[in-house]
Structure 1
Amino acid sequence: MTPTPDPTLPALSGYPRADGRKGIRNLVAVVYTVECAHHVARMVVNSFPGQPVHLIGFPGCYPNDYADRVMKQLVTHPNVGAVLVVGLGCESFDRRGLADAVDASGRPVHAITIQENRGTRTSVASGVEWVRWALEAIAAQPRVPMGIEELIVATICGGSDSTSGITANPAVGVAFDRLVAGGAACIFEETGELVGCEFHMKRRAATPALGDAIVRCVDKAARYYTVLGHGSFAPGNADGGLTTQEEKSLGAYAKSGASPIVGILKPGDRPQVGGLYLLDVVPDGEVRFGFPNISDNAEIVELLSCGAHVTLFTTGRGSVVGSALAPVIKVCANPATYERLAEDMDVNAGRILTGEATLQQVGDEIVALVARVANGEETCSEALGHQEFILTYKQFEPSGPGCFPLRAA
């Protein structure tokens, strides 16, 4: 189906990258390649308060294919204009390969090895000097026109309560349907929170093979959580009025809207065409790394590794987190929560509950805000300086050919 132009959406603009993608932000990423280099990297970033310099990194010393893949996708994310890599020197993580990936992408890159650079003070000083140069270099880059079909929008829910599944989540589903119809790529997650919804998703799959793959993904998640003796239903959900795992799953599922599902992604996979995608975040193979995601920010990082320009974060109980590298738009489900945390929330979907707005109106409001944020407007979490980031160990096998669309849906 050919995407339908949406004349009500404002024109978008972005920063062009050598690989043909465009970013909605233009920032310097300072990257540590082991926890031992974290402090030095943070000291560099702290020298640029209020400026577009973001800190990300991988704490583990030992190599991990998943972390390597995710990090390489992050340092070449379209919102990143330049990269400083900070390593200790004896870690096993491939810091040189990371710097090479940035260089191959056409971005300015500089690497500091603390053990070879006379320690903390000297490394911080040289890092600050390079970042100062990089900020000046990327500031000269102009924005260019960007189509809605070049935009990747993700969604996640956190701190869900009894209002999430009837206000914020379905409102995001309305927004997703409109964005997908316009040609954007939209990504929803998490298979561990969609147990029981697999056959609903199978009926929406673009192909029978994809439908079968969706069922296998959710079955894998159910087995994984069974081994752990843990599910996605948390005490905070119960305190917020959710009663069962099924109720939470259906609420989470509502974020996906009603568009056909055209593909399954794993962390680091990028949509090549527009449409609706499911992100599989549960590791493959034996259970060996513990909980698939120890916080909402771990999932945001995986969505960013798939190229997401912006993430729609729905919450009923309330959450104040944002993200490094890309804006987070908070869609608040509960009107009482919005009243308490108004300066952290971007959209009050609780107005649906009070009768002040319809589902369609809030969905349209979300789409309009996505467009404004894509054009440079700050989200609440950005204005407050939130740049949360976390990356741990996982293992994934490559997705099968039936998981990717042959053409736009």
Structure 2
Amino acid sequence: MNTHVSFTSSSGSFGEFLEDLAALGVAPVSDGGRPYGLLKARTNDRWWLIPISGGRPSAAAMAMFQPVSLAATIIKAGVTTAARLGVSSGWSAGRLRFGALPNLPGKRPAGLAHCAYFTGTAGPHRKTAIQLMAEDGDILGYAKVSRRPLVKPYLAREAEMLRRVGRLALATVDTPAVLAFDPGSAVRPSVLVTDSRKTFGAKSSVRPGGAHLRFLSELASRTRSNGVHRAFESVRALANEIRLPAAWTRRLLSGAARASRFVDGLPVALAHGDFTPWNCIMLEPRLYVFDWEYAADDLPLGYDLVHYLLATRHGADPADVISDLNQRVGALFSDLDLETVRTCVLVSLLLHAAFYLQRQLDYAGSIGGWTDGDRRGRLIDACLRQWGAPAC
């Protein structure tokens, strides 16, 4: 087998990925089977496994790679061309051969002939993703797989939320349909299988446009209510966590004190929870939105917009960023007064921080692995300074 020893090790995220596949009846083989090239991310521990038998299925496999920068777009174009020609030299860090297609719950999608794989990003919520393709490379759907007790509830939530959002029959968005969901067991992985409207040439936008804003407005209007107290309990509880650095303890306490007088009446709605350029694509005039595992009912108006805007915005002055977030949330929800807008932005940032801080503590015992933590902390500080609170 032409690969590196570390790829087949039982340790690390790649080893865990191989164990996920083994649970579905997919294992590396020395001869025969289906060859895959290994594309490694430049900045973190994640891999795409692209079939390199050539032709349209090999090119279509790169639909799993969602570029949001010019450099990544150029890389995708080059790898796509090479994969279509059956060439792996120049981009692949090695090769693997798999002897079978995965055994998935429910009825196998009609015409399933090829798969591409994504290991997921190493970290607390790593999960394996599988792109299901027909003989001609058309994308039939996706499967998500996890054996981690920490992740399994999120796959169940996504299955529930996809069914719920589908029943809303929103005019501005399409979402995947659930084909099968197996919650798994102590020894069996959770597996979620959905269809897809994604195509090989589908694109996203780094900045939210009209289709994004229409979707966020309609989702909020259809599910809007008041009171963020249930979700806000995570902020209050985390502020008492002894493993939290002192700066974050002060920050959360100050934010909770500022927002607590408003949380019972704060406008909230169902939100996607991880609305980013890589979790949606343009299907004009509608948007196609997937990956709903972090969706929740009681997130502040503007939560998704704030998350989208911050996903690719780095390096700007925190005060300027907060001013821009306030303006954009206020423009989207024009019935809100400035005080409510500011509070929605602050609570959105606090809830996001509490989620990531708690997740990192549960996974590693410290917050050192949250690479975006310092920037998020500075943004919360800038929010608090609007009301004269000192920086942490």
TM-score of the two chains, using structure 2 as the length reference: 0.26
Q: What's the TM-score, normalizing by structure 1? A: 0.25
Q: Taking CA–CA contacts closer than 8 Å with sequence separation of 6 or more, which of the two structures ends up with the larger relative contact order?
A: 1
- The structure with more radius of gyration: 2
